[in-house]
Structure 1
Amino acid sequence: MLSQQSGKALFPFLILVLLGLCVYLYLPKSAGQTQQGGMNATEVVAHSVSQDNRAVSVDAVGSARANQAINITSAQSDYVTAIYFKDGDSVAQGQQLVQLQDQQEKLQVAELSINLKEQRRQLERLNELAKSQSAAKSQLEEQRSKVDALQAQLDAARTKLQEMTITAPFAGVLGKRLVSVGAYVNTNTVLTTLDDLSIIKVDFQVPEKYLAQLKLGMKVTALSDAYANSLFTGELSHIDPRIDERTRSIAVTAKFKNKDNRLRPGMLLFTKLQLAEVTALMVPEKAIIPLQDKHFVYAIDANGKVERVQVKIQTRFNGWVAIAEGLHEGQQVITEGTLKLRVGSSVVVKG
């Protein structure tokens, strides 16, 4: 009776052993290992070393401003008789914007022109008399002084008449109209604003340690939250002659062509100043294994086995490392799975 009961008790155990053996033989190998040449090979992620260009750059935040920006005011005081623009108009240089009452100025110019004409006629008559009469020479000098004085008065009157017509000093985009016809304006009255948006300038700070590398014309790129998918490209246009003693940084300016007027004064821009461009063998930074003052990578040899290679780092970028010595183009370096490796291990690259 006991032997029959023992046999019944062992039967379920044997079934479980057989099932486990089937699972081991027929299901795929556990994650991270595979069969290769009769040996267990560890699955890893690798990167193929290639030569690439990377920019050495400085990131900063800058504020945009117009190439030129002014408040339009009047040089004379009088009443507005006409306005020739609307809010936000684009205007050309010299385009008429506002007309002030100018009847009195026109009359003054006309009167002085008539007087000057008469005084010149008198000057010509005295010139003829001075040729034969010595007494007329003193009168001639006096008459010349009168003509010169009238000419100066006429020039001043014409200038004042011109100032009664207010024009755009440069091409740009106007702001809001701040006056109306019939309003009395003086030299302190702002009529509107004018901004030259054809070029946008961005001011930002660069740490003092980069001063020796700064040169006019260097490439600058900028991003704006308003245009998340657009990269604006410009160049360094100004380097301040002074260094800020508090921040130990130097103020610089970049200029950007703004043909479509997407950039506006006052914008916050994220700038990147390109100091240099490096061409070298690039590997992901996570492939580098630091050991004391040296650096290594795990590379895969022709037989699919791991070898540890010492490398010399040229410079670091955002997530990438330029290698000066130790690797060659096309070589595969392991980026993931290095913790479970040792030199001579067989590996298989995922994908």
Structure 2
Amino acid sequence: EYQTELATAKANLHSVIAEAKAMELEVNRVKDLVSKNVVSQSELDVANAKYDALAAKIQAARSAESSAAINLAYTNIKAPFDGVIDRIPYKMGSLINEGTLLTTVSDIKAVNVYFNVSEKEYLEYVKANQETSEHGQVDLYLADGSRFPSKGKIETLEGEFDESTGSIAFRARFLNSDKILKHGSSGTIRLTNVIDSSLLVPQKAVFEIQDKSYVFVVGDSSRVRTRAFIPKTRTGHYYVVESGLEKGEKIVYEGTQSLKEGQVIKTRLVTAE
């Protein structure tokens, strides 16, 4: 329909231009006759008036052609950026209403990843990265367990915790040059805390009583005593000790289930896995 309207407008413009050219020749002919006193001036005035009317029609025809071209251009949908287009559920000729969503185009050269962390994890991260907490780097592990090749940069975090979940939301941006990430993808974010000169305790050596963490410390005469300690965080198979244990102390690595307070044991040094 819009193509037909444009074609009709073009044809009408060409027709009016042709009429105007013919009228221009007529005006010149009448001018010559008037100069020879063959016809009166009034005939020339009539010819000029007809020519002016055709000139106005040309302007109107040009406007009609321009309007038809604009309407036709509106039928070509262009995205303001390059991206990946989603499925289009409509076939050619389908009836749709104004405001109907045709499809979705996603710019996935760089992707925003949203994730939430608990208040405890947030505080641990901020304390360990006080200078870079708002713009630190994070790792993304995909649904298959593989690590996404590019590191993400934390861009923003919300100003308050969600009272219903006790968590706070972060947003990190990842460059996605290989277009691996898609809109709606899922994965796991890993925040990295930099800890210097910390004391680590293997998880295997730790047991819990009423939500407190304990280890068996080997004292004088190889006698074991239970010792509570406060873990700062957990990394891999180890606890990072905040307080309760000192460097150089010996702890029982395995076999804690069968030990009793004050029991004398035979020890040997082992390397934790």
Give the TM-score category using the shorter length: 0.5 to 0.7
Whole-Å separation in 1 of the counterparts to 2:120 and 2:9: 64
Counterpart among 265, 277, 281 of residue 194 in structure 2: 277
1:206 matched residue in structure 2: 117
Whole-Å separation in 1 of the counterparts to 2:10 and 2:134: 50
Aligned-partner SS, 1:102: helix
Report if aligned partners of 2:114, 2:169 keep a CA contact under 8 Å in 1. yes
Paired residues in the alignment total 212
Whole-Å separation in 2 of the counterparts to 1:211 and 1:289: 26
The 1:315/1:350 distance shift into structure 2, 3 A limit, reads: closer
Q: Deviation digits for residues 257-281 of structure 1, max 9, x if unmatched? A: 333333333334333344x322312
Q: Report which of the two has the higher share of strand.
A: 1
Whole-Å separation in 1 of the counterparts to 2:159 and 2:260: 55
2:217 matched residue in structure 1: 298
Counterpart among 73, 88, 101 of residue 162 in structure 1: 73
* Per-residue deviation, 1:295: 6.4
Unaligned runs of 5+ in 1: 1-77, 79-100, 116-145
Give the TM-score, by structure 2 length.
0.53
Identify which of structures 1 and 2 has the higher relative contact order when contacts are C-alpha pairs closer than 8 Å and 6+ apart: 1
Give the TM-score, by structure 1 length.
0.43
Whole-Å separation in 2 of the counterparts to 1:165 and 1:178: 17
Aligned-partner SS, 1:167: coil
* Per-residue deviation, 1:155: 7.8
Percent same amino acid at aligned positions? 25
2:267 matched residue in structure 1: 347
2:46 matched residue in structure 1: none
Q: Deviation digits for residues 234-285 of structure 1, max 9, x if unmatched? A: 23233234544443433332333333333333334333344x3223121213
Paired AA for residue 199 in structure 1: A
Report if aligned partners of 2:214, 2:229 keep a CA contact under 8 Å in 1. yes
Q: Report which of the two has the higher share of helix.
A: 2
Report if aligned partners of 2:233, 2:241 keep a CA contact under 8 Å in 1. no
1:172 matched residue in structure 2: 83
Report if aligned partners of 1:300, 1:334 keep a CA contact under 8 Å in 2. no
Counterpart among 156, 174, 177 of residue 238 in structure 1: 156
Q: Deviation digits for residues 7-59 of structure 1, max 9, x if unmatched? A: xxxxxxxxxxxxxxxxxxxxxxxxxxxxxxxxxxxxxxxxxxxxxxxxxxxxx
Paired AA for residue 78 in structure 2: T
* Per-residue deviation, 1:152: 9.7
Aligned-partner SS, 1:347: coil
CA RMSD of aligned residues (A): 4.9
* Per-residue deviation, 1:174: 1.7
